[in-house]
Structure 1
Amino acid sequence: MGLITLVLVMLLAVVASGFVVRLLPVPVPLPLVQIALGAGIAAVADLGIVLAPEVFFLLFLPPLLFLDGWRIPKPGLFRDYGAVLQLALGLVVFTVLGMGFFIHWMIPTMPLEVAFALAAVLSPTDPIAVTAIAARSPLPARVMHVLEGESLLNDASGLVCLRFAVAALLTGSFSMSDALLTFAQLALGGLATGVLITLGATWIKGRISRHAGEEPGIEVLISLLIPFGAYLVADRLGVSPILAAVAAGITMSHAEIRGQVQAITRVRRNAVWDTVRFAVNGVIFVLMGEQLPAILSGAVTAVRETGHREAWWLAVYVLAITVGLAALRWLWVYVSLRLTLLRRHEGPPLSRGTIHRLVGAMTLAGVRGAITLAGILTLPLMLDHRTAFPARDLAVFLAAGVILASLVAAAIGLPRVLKGLAPDSLAEVDQTADRIRAAAARAAILAVERAQHEMSAGRTDADLHAAVAARVMELYRRRLDADSPDATTADLFRRTDEIERRLRLAGLRAERAEIFRIARAREIDDDLARRLVREIDLMEARYLA
């Protein structure tokens, strides 16, 4: 099957998954639906897809990791850096050691080095899967920030552990000092590369835009190329390309708040990135489902090498590993929560039941995904020219099985664990939004006054300028009144704003319908109709935000 046809089939499956998940009578996480569609495609058509790990990493991970780094709330990430690092580094090592010995004990025919390699790829949680699960079962804001930070940073530590486990199997030697030094080089080098690439690209783009003007299409394309550039440069330099993509996204968010791009560019860029995220994220899980039958076939053969002829032992292994991962994560998260987040928690102390619910939620939210799948596929096929890599098919199946099991456990368990839990049990009550809006409104009033005086100076229609300025400033004064300490006044203005919002939306939709009617009647050309509708769409988006 041609590459273009293959891409179209994958995208069509992603589109279908979006409809299916809305038509199901019970809520089901989108990744599970996409995996099922992928398996269905494999059952009816032999697409002949061979996942090359290096291509898989390059095509799918850089944009998604970049976007997660771009949009993750930075104050929450830096505020809870202690908890994030404990999970991203400490928990990974704890999981590799604990699960490595456990898997080798459970499956003695799997060499210890291979067991450690499997544990290493199972240790990172996946930011894509975490976000997808949280969309269905909203987690407390602060907990979500910690999980997002963990999933962005633990990829490097898990993949470094994988690298040394494989090296130990190939060479028969391992050095802890070399491992720590290599990890530091990979991590720091990747972070520095991502920062420098993004700063360099935004600086060059800014200089050119100031002289030649800004073209939104070019700006959007540059933002799409930055993560791939950071990833490729880091890979060429021999440092962590994954952390380079994450660092590029975090740096991009700092460049964004300098406000150097036009509003229309931001609108278009956000729309493009939302589409890219939905499409790429969906294709990853559809591909995983498409690969499952082949993975299962190889694992059934491999399980016989463990001394069991029945294929159902594969399910036993997957369940045991999933439970073991959850137990280790629960223990580590409980200790970490006690030492960091709860110690700095303000307000009344949390009950024992609330603490256990939070720990349970963070444990279930440790979903495995694309990082695990891509990592396990990097295992070499041969140790040398004559010896096959031991238990490779079994390791690949177990990794895929744990991904599925963790998704199912999160889909079933998270809603129950979070039931009755306040959405922000650990989040500090943030009251700064109203204060910032008020400050922005006061600045706007001063700017309107200055602009009105400059525009009306020496003109005969100064009264007209003053009247229009008064009308504009009245909108901002109403916003200030809505934030006043008088609860009755604030409630009145908020209700007034809501009524106005609904009326404006009704008017905008009527405007758009009339423009479409006129365009269908061929009274205006399509280009003018698109421009007028776009103006209305932008205004409607403002009231729907």
Structure 2
Amino acid sequence: MEIVFTVLILLLAVALSGLGLSLLPVKLPLPLVQIVIGAVLAWPRLGLHVTFDPELFMLLFIPPLLFADGWRIPKRELYMQRRAILMLALGLVFITVGVLGYFLHAMIPSMPLPVAFALAAVLSPTDAVALTGIAGRNRIPANLMHILEGEALMNDASGLVALKFAIAAALTGVFSLRDATVSFLIIAAGGLVIGAAISWAVTEIPARLLKFSEDDDPAAGVVLTILIPFAAYVVAERVGCSGILAAVSAGMMMNIQSLRDSIPSAVRVRMTSTWTMIEFVFNGMVFILLGLQFPHIIGQALIEAHHDGNAQVGLLFGYVVATVLALYALRFVWVYCLRWVASRGAAKHGIDSAAPGMRTLALTTIGGVRGAVTLAGVLSLPVTLENGAPLEGRDLAIFIASAVILASLMIAVIGLPILMRGTAKIRNPHAAEERMARRRAAQAAIRAIDEEHDELIEQMDEAASARCADSAARVMGMYRQRLEQLGDDEAPRVAAKKGEVIETRLKMAALRAERAELLRLRSAQTINDETLNKLMRELDLSETAIVNRKRGMAAS
């Protein structure tokens, strides 16, 4: 029963964090609020303690979150920025492990070199979820945000692979760079292939078996998609490949497969709403769990250091400050070198490319927020060596990693708004191509209506043909109005937008009246709940379409 109550309390905390955010006088990032809630729940008098099992955490929380990120991230931009992403996700990770590992060992001689490398490995991955929660959407330039998200998707795998070899070196005292390189390539490639294959195989199951049809309840198929990231992660880990990359590639494949014609739009709506809820709940649980761990880890380390004297407490804080400065210095220098090389290459081809601006460099540097994977990785360090002796430096590594996570979050919370001050909120970086796509889609719809009308009237008498022509004119008029609204001429576009606003208000008033009437009929026992729910869902979908269209037109 204790586990059940703990889960219910955590779910309540996630819900309250989302509701309470709007009540705060100062707008704070949701991840920070959730960490604070977790820290409050860890207060001894409340008696809530959750043992952080790294393996269970990695299996339960990481696959669905990475699957959702892989599903959502734009593939075109990911491919366009592939060079920068790979240089950050691979190059920067391995540079960080090497340089920071030696730096930590030199700063803390009592920490063995393999443990220093392991700490550097867990500090190298970044967390895009925390970054999005802190910065908000459409605030950081789109190209930079795509790079940071792509980096966070890929560097979890490279950081954890580096951690694996660091732990092996700590336990056995043996390390081979050649074996590590070959192993990493096999692990990464295998994970990508396994995840994509599992996602493809599941979504290729016959539609009848998955109930992916308009007449059936698609719940079974939607539940099956929830199992895909876990299956990809478990299978990949079982065969010795990267479960993290398997979850990412499964999400990317799911994005492709979900757009097939055999999957109805109603199923896609159900999947989208389900995964939106899962992502919110799991993200919230992750940050609340982080908050639950920090007081115990940091408080215990400070108490033990205080027993050895105040100088030891100051030394601990000095270690954290030096580690944070070293991390950000490495990231800044690496990003500056990458952008400098890119600008030089562009200049050789006769393309004007300005030197990297300090604001962009600073955003990229501070955007490297550390999160849950870092804590899970450092807590997975073995307690003892193979001979039974305790692993020296483990507790200090856990303290430094936890403090660095907090420090990176606080730096981002304070620094990102300052760096973005004076920059207008990005309305829609792809407004031009969205307008073009809407025009093309409307033109295609008009042509299809015209062709379908000609086929329908062939078998109709004069009266039926007239009714068909009226119906076609009404439907076609909607698309012609849309084309006017998306046109280049100012006067017709303004008039069409005003008409759209009036039409939207009328439609919303009609929907509210329908909803009120349905509720009145249910209260009078004229219709039952089943009929009410069916009709209310139709109204909700109609209202959602109107609201989304209104937002889309406002953004463009």
How would you bin the TM-score normalised by the shorter chain? over 0.9
Matching residue of 1:320: 322
Return the offset for 1:520. 2.8
Distance in 2 (CA, whole Å) between partners of 1:523 and 1:211 is 33
Return the offset for 1:294. 2.1
Equivalent residue in structure 2 for 1:494, among 488, 492, 497: 497
Q: 1:472 to 1:136 in 2, by over 3 A?
A: closer
Matching residue of 2:368: 366
Unaligned runs of 5+ in 1: none
Query: Which amino acid in 1 is paired with 2:316?
Result: L
Matching residue of 1:15: 15
Cα shift readout 1:418-447 (whole Å, capped 9, x = no counterpart): 12235569x976622122112211221222
Distance in 2 (CA, whole Å) between partners of 1:116 and 1:130 is 25
Matching residue of 1:294: 296
Distance in 1 (CA, whole Å) between partners of 2:308 and 2:371 is 26
Query: Which amino acid in 1 is paired with 2:73?
Result: I
Distance in 2 (CA, whole Å) between partners of 1:341 and 1:540 is 48
Q: CA RMSD in A?
A: 2.6
Return the offset for 1:214. 5.3
SS at match of 1:420: coil
Q: 1:521 to 1:347 in 2, by over 3 A?
A: farther
Query: Which amino acid in 2 is paired with 1:327?
Result: A
Return the offset for 1:306. 9.4
Contact persistence 1:107–1:306 (CA under 8 A): no
Query: Which amino acid in 1 is paired with 2:510?
Result: G
Equivalent residue in structure 1 for 2:221, among 219, 222, 235: 219
Matching residue of 2:436: 435
Matching residue of 2:537: 534
Matching residue of 1:285: 287
Contact persistence 1:123–1:158 (CA under 8 A): yes
Return the offset for 1:222. 1.6
Query: Which amino acid in 2 is paired with 1:80?
Result: Q
Q: 1:215 to 1:534 in 2, by over 3 A?
A: closer
Cα shift readout 1:388-419 (whole Å, capped 9, x = no counterpart): 11121221121111111111111111011012
Query: Which amino acid in 2 is paired with 1:528?
Result: T
Return the offset for 1:183. 0.5
Which range is displaced more, 166-175 or 203-212?
A: 203-212
Return the offset for 1:140. 0.6
SS at match of 2:357: helix
Matching residue of 2:27: 27
Contact persistence 2:212–2:264 (CA under 8 A): no
Matching residue of 2:53: 52
Return the offset for 1:215. 3.6
Distance in 1 (CA, whole Å) between partners of 2:319 and 2:174 is 28
Which range is displaced more, 304-313 or 380-389?
A: 304-313
Cα shift readout 1:98-120 (whole Å, capped 9, x = no counterpart): 22122222222211211111111
- Residue 446 of structure 1 pairs with residue 447 of structure 2: yes
SS at match of 1:361: helix
Aligned-residue sequence identity (percent) comes to 45
Q: 1:365 to 1:205 in 2, by over 3 A?
A: farther
Query: Which amino acid in 1 is paired with 2:195?
Result: G
Distance in 2 (CA, whole Å) between partners of 1:499 and 1:30 is 36
Contact persistence 2:229–2:251 (CA under 8 A): yes
SS at match of 1:204: coil
Matching residue of 2:170: 169
TM-score w.r.t. the length of structure 1 is 0.93
SS at match of 1:47: coil
Cα shift readout 1:210-246 (whole Å, capped 9, x = no counterpart): 9987542122112111111111110111100000000
Query: Which amino acid in 2 is paired with 1:2?
Result: E
Query: Which amino acid in 1 is paired with 2:21?
Result: V
Q: 1:125 to 1:172 in 2, by over 3 A?
A: same
Alignment coverage as a number of residue pairs: 543
Which range is displaced more, 436-445 or 184-193?
A: 436-445
- Residue 511 of structure 1 pairs with residue 514 of structure 2: yes
Matching residue of 2:41: 41
Which range is displaced more, 212-221 or 321-330?
A: 212-221
Return the offset for 1:308. 6.7
Contact persistence 2:210–2:218 (CA under 8 A): no
Unaligned runs of 5+ in 2: 549-556
Equivalent residue in structure 2 for 1:237, among 228, 236, 239: 239
Q: 1:136 to 1:105 in 2, by over 3 A?
A: farther
Distance in 2 (CA, whole Å) between partners of 1:452 and 1:248 is 42
Matching residue of 2:147: 146
Cα shift readout 1:330-381 (whole Å, capped 9, x = no counterpart): 11112223334896699996876x8111111111111111111111111011
Return the offset for 1:206. 4.0
Contact persistence 1:140–1:422 (CA under 8 A): no
Query: Which amino acid in 2 is paired with 1:537?
Result: D
Q: 1:10 to 1:336 in 2, by over 3 A?
A: same
Query: Which amino acid in 1 is paired with 2:191?
Result: G
Contact persistence 2:93–2:121 (CA under 8 A): yes
Contact persistence 1:83–1:340 (CA under 8 A): no
Matching residue of 1:273: 275
